[in-house]
Amino acid sequence: MAMIVAIEAGSKFHGFTGASLAVLIGAFVAAALWLVIFAIRWTASFPKLAPPGPETSDLGPEPPAVANFLVNRFEVTRLAVGATLVDLAARRVIGIEEIVADHFVVRLRREHDDDNNDITAYERQVLDLVQERATGGSAPIEALEIGSAAESLKWWQRFAKSVERDARDRGLARNRWNRADWAIFAGGIALVLGLFALALGIAHLGEGITNSRNGGRQGRWDWFYVAAFAELLALAAIKGLRGVRDTPSGRAASGRWLGVRRFLRHDGGFADLPPAAVAIWQRYLSYGIALGVARAAAHALPFGDEDPRAAWSRYGGNWHQVRVDYPSKFGYGKSPIGVFLGGLVRTAFWGAIAFAVLPFVISSSWELQKDVWSHENSGAAIGVVALFVVIFGVMGIYLLAQLIDGLIRVGRGAMDLGRAAETRGAIIRIGQDAPYAGYVAIDDGHSAETKAFFPPVNTPALHRGDEIDVTLTPHLRHAKALRVVGAAPHPAATATTPMPAPAPDGTSAVRMNALNALDVNAVTGIVGCALQPIVGPNAGAPPGAAARVYSDGGRGRVAVMLMHASSGASRMAMGMLAHHGHPTATAIDGFDGDASWTHNRLVARAKNGDVAMVMIDLANLSDAQRRDAACTMARLVLVASPRASSPASETT
């Protein structure tokens, strides 16, 4: 190093003193101010989650993947892939059937081979995956696994970018940075780099050095060319960051979809629907997956391993998905007093290095390059510029980053001194492997997002599902105390293990017998066209219900489901039709209880407590014919219901 320093960096360079030192210090100050402004704009432009709108069963015009994007802070989660697959089935582009209990197949539909003009790029990507794996026209749903980790990541990134692009095209999202932002960023970078170039020019660094390749001499102000090149690199790096944010229409749509999610969460029965239930629930199931409500259906779809940044929880009532963040920077999780004092030390130490040692680094790096320049080398010109930019740029950025890190630690530690609050929730994640080892995440039952924390030292063994009280500071999330208030009754049954509740009035087999009155011949006679049953033990009915589904061999479908009024599926069905968000629902007379009809679906509730839902989607029938046929079928199954002749079982 002593030999390198002895080499001259131009006959006029004598170090940074006087005006050159003052300008160099000014450049560092300007760089710090620019980073502060950038951090403020980064925070201010971060997509905001809109407040939930009123509960509604109305599905908006956006596809499930875009709805998933809107309710997750304008970021796509992996639930969107399964939701898109199920939505294709709901729209009859493909079929999903349950061949035996908990075993599903996906089938291609030939009638849609040339009728996919309304399919988006990401839906086409999922459909292409199905077509690739469905040899012979069908495949077990497990065959849809994408492949290796690298292949899965590449496939997923293409899918997510396509969804984001669709949201932009719909006016729901926009570029994160507007013209004013780019003007501020470009102007600030130009000022900072210009000051650095000016300081080097005033100090005569490198002036007069001869390029042995072309005989040219380094000019005093040639540093401005280097600064211009560095600015292009910096702007390209900013453009590569997460570049999407919300729009007014996007926030409105986000609030509306959050209202739909609240409606679908209103009863836990929807969480236990299998993927084959799309035959009955149609697009409600695909949106339920996208919005993080239909847990069992999402769990049955083989799109990648369990996401460590998302967890299913039923704490607070019904199943829902919670996004988990794992902060690690700026002393996160550590004691506030330790972070505050450590921040002071970091600020002083790195500040001294930045303003005292950095000029020496600049001189040394340039001297080294001059030595390379003096040798005959075809790549010397490129090497000089590249070596200087790498050494000087990396060192400067590193020193500034360490200085800012110290300042942030001081601020966060000071804000957490003497402040802490107790939170109660259920453990939904316990990190085992890097980079999540040691983290614990809880769901408080109220928020769709949570930040994982590190439990206090000597905390007893914790398990997923344990209910705990933990005292955390607001910014560093330092855990001061932790107490288990309710141990998980079955530690082996995690939040992702399906645990359907038994039917309140017996098994679904009893209701399946009642559906014998609507075998394929009876349904064919009622609707007036040939039908065939869809294979499956119970046609995707939720626990405690019974269902039969028939197809005309193409897009047409007839589905009948029988359940009890106290079941989650029943309340969800009634709500979808009679809810204030469904003004098209009309009351139907002729039943001893309530009945509602809309477009292609009838829900009838008898006084004895049974509910029949009939869905008729046949193009050859008018709306009035569909309604009459649905009423006939509902009366048949309600009369045949085992509870119909039991007055003691009637409910009001």
As a three-state string, the secondary structure of 544-582 is CCEEEEEECCCCCEEEEEEEECCCHHHHHHHHHHHCCCC
Lowest mean pLDDT among 109-118, 200-209, 271-280, 555-564: 109-118
pLDDT over 90 at 598, yes or no: no
CB 464 within 8 A of CB 486: no
How do beta strands 173-175 and 546-551 pair?
unpaired
pLDDT, average across residues 491-507 = 41
Percent of the chain with pLDDT over 90: 6
pLDDT in tens, 394-407: 666 777 778 788 88
E-only strand ranges, 126-167: 138-140
Percent of the chain with pLDDT over 70: 70
pLDDT in tens, 356-396: 666 666 665 555 555 555 555 545 555 555 556 566 666 66
Mean pLDDT estimate for the chain? 75
pLDDT in tens, 323-342: 888 888 888 888 888 888 88
Q: Which residues pair with 596 in a beta bridge?
A: 587, 603
pLDDT in tens, 145-174: 776 667 777 888 899 999 999 999 999 988
Handedness of CA 469, 470, 471, 474 (dihedral sign): negative
pLDDT of residue 170: 92
pLDDT band at 4 (very low <50, low <70, confident <90, very high): very low
pTM: 0.65
CB 78 within 8 A of CB 156: yes
pLDDT in tens, 71-108: 888 888 888 998 999 999 888 888 887 766 667 778 88
